Amino acid sequence: MNCSVHSDYHQMSEFAANEILSVLAANPKATLCLATGDTPLLTYQLLVEKIIRQKIKISQIHFVGLDEWVGVPHTNPGSCHYFLHKNIFTPLNVNLKNIHLFDALSANLADECKKMNELIDRLQGIDLMLVGIGRNGHIGFNEPGDAENNFAHISQLDPLTIEVGQKYFTETIHLQKGLTLGLAHFYAARKVMMMANGIKKKEIVKKTLEYPISTQVPATLIRKHQNAILIIDKDASGQE
């Protein structure tokens, strides 16, 4: 794992957007898995600008969802679905056939997971997985203590995830479960980018770098990945 520390949120987002562009340049048929959340928002805005300005062809790029809140409709602005459409797919006019997201309202959630696993196999794996870090160290909705060999699965959300997750919603919402790609997908991704910024992530970044590698702090698993980069700003790094 490499660690890339930047002076501020804007610099780290520029760096991350350029990293994504280099994956697209190397493989115009790449499969990307892009996290939602506050952390990667500016990265996506810069990425969209660059793709449009540089006229980069993305018609063969496939996008798979990382996670979703069970029971939240995709029309809700707090859903991962809504976030990805608003910030990436709509501005880039991505063909719907290239977008593969969890249906969090499905009557058969286990089948949703099975379909996602089969799809990722059909796409021959994930070329780039960009993830954030939850305050408890979760990756997607792989919560502390979840199995390391999981593929897509239904996750029982940690109390801290439920509490922090309210920030994405304007209304009070009942969150209990999530659908998520598993840590086995994380390991298998050909490249992983993990991002964190701001003082509020300082403690979990320290644990990510220093705690024993274990699913008790899922983010520590990045240290075992063969081709991973942790992208953080100075505030999250704890440097003065």
| Residue numbers annotated as active site | 67, 136, 138, 143
219: contact with ligand GLP by CB under 6 A: no
When the beta carbons of 61 and 178 are compared against ligand GLP, the nearer one is: 178
Supply 84's token pair: 């990805």
Determine which residue in the list 13, 43, 142, 161 makes contact with ligand GLP, applying CB under 6 A. 161
H or E element that contains 13: helix 9-26
Residue 189 to residue 215: CA distance in whole angstroms: 18
# residues contacting ligand GLP (CB under 6 A): 14
What is the nearest approach in angstroms of ligand GLP to the Cβ of residue 94? Answer: 20
Please, what is the minimum distance in Å from the beta carbon of residue 60 to ligand GLP? 25
- State which residue, 56 or 99, has the beta carbon closest to ligand GLP: 99
Please tell me whether residue 218 binds ligand GLP under the rule CB under 6 A.
no
Residue 96 CA to residue 89 CA, distance in Å, equals 9
Backbone phi, psi, residue 194, to 5°: -120, 130
Compute the Cα dihedral for 181, 184, 185, 186 and give only its sign: positive
Query: Rule CB under 6 A: which of 109-138 touch ligand GLP?
Result: 131-132, 134
Q: Which distant-in-sequence residues (6+ apart) come within 8 Å of 96 by Cβ?
A: none
For ligand GLP, the binding residues in 20-59 under the rule CB under 6 A are 35-39
Instruction: State in angstroms the smallest separation of the CB of 120 from ligand GLP.
Output: 17
Q: Find tokens 């991973």 and name the residue.
A: 228
Query: For residue 120, what are its two tokens?
Result: 């990722």
Structure tokens at 101: 């997201």
Which residue has its beta carbon closest to ligand GLP? 132
Residue 165 is a binding residue for ligand GLP (CB under 6 A) = yes
Shortest Cβ 140–ligand GLP spacing (Å): 5
